[in-house]
Amino acid sequence: MPAMSSPSDQTVGGASLIEQLKTGGFTAVLIGMAGMVARLLLSTEPGMTWGKAARHVMAAGIVAWMVDQGLHEVAMAQGLKTACLGIAGATATHLLDFVIAWVKARGQAEVDKVTSRTAKKKPTNARRKK
């Protein structure tokens, strides 16, 4: 029976999972979450609950991670990348609202195309026999 390996022994792309988290993945999530926490602390938005705040913070972490993945190959100063992650986290709810609205608009445009094509078809002039 093979021996169980520790999580730090498991390699992905030449680096262990722990090393990958240390070099950016987990850090990006924390920076994004910190950006959202700062926004929430400065917010005077009525109706904010602990659950809603937790969802916003989790969304910020996910968005910041995705932005970090996109910035891996971009040549820019590390401080600027960090600022991008913080801003992405702080604006995560607005970014997600924009993406959802954009996808809905694209979907509606496709539905309108199909609907207009079927509406342009002329009805047949066949008369019914009595």
Contact residues for 24 (Cβ-Cβ < 8 A; gap 6+): 68, 72
User: What's the domain count of the chain?
Assistant: 1
Average pLDDT for 85-91:
89
Percent of the chain at pLDDT > 90 equals 14
Average pLDDT for 79-98:
89
Alpha-carbon span 85 to 81, nearest angstrom: 6
Instruction: Report if residue 38 sits inside a domain.
Output: yes
Domain that holds residue 42: 11-118
* Residue 123: pLDDT band with limits 50, 70, 90: low
Query: pLDDT value at position 102?
Result: 94
Instruction: Report if residue 65 sits inside a domain.
Output: yes
pTM over 0.85: no
Q: How many CA atoms lie within 13 A of 5 on its CB side?
A: 7
